[in-house]
Structure 1
């Protein structure tokens, strides 16, 4: 190395592939969507004071041979791998300004399988909602729809529309907060958690509260009640619907009291909304820092395993969305002490 050349920072040198990366894991593919996810993940790793692992995955194409010998042929993967390595190196360089430990790897294999395996030990998986096809695939295609549904840790999808807010400075955030208080429809320093009374939603709610504390944000707990449909369409309205709202409000208030007991210093507010859960949360995603959902619920909010509601929110959200898998949490044990629990589950 010449006298005028700078020494590389050892934190940013390529490292051996961790068998079980911890902290925040982000998938990159060189697309703009991947770059947005990378910046969000780096900021989150710094907030959590946890390492960041950057990974790209590729598959070697296999095609039917056209010669007389028939059979199948494969492409030499050296060029493909070199391209993936270049993407990872660029990603590492992009996050050099953050005070975090960074590791990276290039994996040969199915991108879904790679990240799902890493979710066994990671605290958080982050990825964009659309990529080149090699990593996050089509808009919420095979990879980005599989991850929220099956990952063992929370996942965050970051749409390209977030690029403007990710470029903000601390002063920008301060001005934005002041403008929001004055009634401007800008991004508020708020985390929104969608709940439906299920235990899965309560697990997501706890994660949302922890995330709000990391962001220095307030937490807004939202329960949306859709119009009657199907077998319930015959139910008289509006009297029964008002009674339904009253019952749900009592349960929501009890849940809020429980949550405040575990997060006494967090500003928490609740909203009971009349409308489609997908529409309510998609609209909220335009104006808040993060929307948090569970992987499944009663059918009113997150439905089946990444069912119609959570899938709809992920497809159309205008901001980052976190999906939290079902898991045990000791804090759930005292929920019933604070009032009625929907369905007595």
Structure 2
């Protein structure tokens, strides 16, 4: 069965509200958008969820030359026809996947359009550094704006991983980077970054679910930077051995808690000395997926989440899943498994 019209999904969430409406992917005709499209189609097939392909555009307005001081607009129908051609091409590209799929052209700022869709979507997917052509700035700045504000998890797919998705690109910068790094095998592993905050625990739960979908082990990484701004005033060198020992106890307790909710999942934890951004960006070269949370509050290892997740998004060499802060019933029993940040 190939791609066909998306059918309504009657599924409901535990609270009785309508379940999220599948996976939304933003395209703009660029190579970056093509990579995001392929990743999203594969994920829709894995999750057995419908895929919605969207492109957005705004009609540009130019100041008219001459003395009249007026304004001139570009014909909306011309731009819309171009956007529809991009969607037709995208629909053809995913026709071989066993998924329900539809597509739409939206008039408006791309960030605003996708942000609104995030309120009902299960997942938003988009590429990085889109061309920003006549269909507007769908990608590029959108990949920075959406993860921080979206209501659902988001996945950014960088063009550098085109080869692992079976795609090609003529982007000279990407081709040079691919040639420099050479072919690197990708482990079927999901990596999640943690910092001891509640937001990180939410990300860990999503990462574990994704690892199960991929039939992959989960690697939980806590990277401890040498110093953070909040510790700069400390007059004596910090006892890093004691700090690492304390974090290790919390990581082990967190691992036991996670295993209780995912008893069949292979879970490993790694405590490393280094910058969270550098550690996770390097890991992104070799694994299927990196997972981070948003709005972390520092935790026991400096600010992994928040501004640091932006750094990971800008430099990652593979797909990055960003999980928004939200309530989860499974967080309630974490304290019963041992020490955790902020516990008495």
Q: 1:275 to 1:72 in 2, by over 3 A?
A: same
The normalised TM-score by structure 1 is 0.86
Is 2:245 the counterpart of 1:246?
A: yes
Distance 1:214 1:199, change over 3 A: same
Paired residue secondary structure (2:103):
strand
Q: What is the DSSP-based 3-state SS (H/G/I as helix, E as strand, rest coil) of the residue aligned with 1:318?
A: coil
CA–CA distance in 2 between the matches of 1:42 and 1:105?
16
Counterpart residue number, 1:261: 260
Other structure's SS at 2:24 match: strand
Contact kept? 1:136, 1:144, Cα under 8 Å: no
Structure 2 CA distance for partners of 1:156 and 1:136, relative to 1, 3 Å: farther
**2: CA distance between counterparts of 1:144 and 1:125?**
10
Identify unmatched segments of 5+ residues in structure 1.
1-8, 169-183
CA contact (8 A) 1:127 1:136 kept: no
Residue 161 of structure 1: how far off its partner (Å): 1.4
> Which residue number corresponds to residue 45 of structure 1?
44
Q: Is 1:84 matched up with 2:68? A: no
Worse overlay, 226-235 or 215-224: 226-235
The CA RMSD over aligned residues, in Å, is 2.3
Distance in 2, Cα, partners of 1:290 & 1:151: 19
Aligned residue number for residue 296 of structure 1: 295
> Aligned equivalents of 1:344 and 1:58: distance in 2?
48
| Aligned-partner SS, 2:268 | strand
Unmatched tracts of structure 2, length 5 or more:
8-18, 168-182
Equivalent pairs, count: 313
- How far, CA to CA, are the matches of 1:294 and 1:87 in structure 2? 32
1:69-115 alpha-carbon deviations (Å, 9 max, x no partner) = 22222111111111110000000000011000001000111000110
Match of 1:225 in 2: 224
TM-score by length of structure 2 reads: 0.86
Q: Judging changes above 3 Å, is the alpha-carbon distance between structure 1 residues 337 and 21 closer, same or farther for their aligned structure 2 residues?
A: closer
1:264 and 1:231, CA in 2 relative to 1: closer, same or farther beyond 3 A?
Answer: closer
CA contact (8 A) 1:139 1:315 kept: no
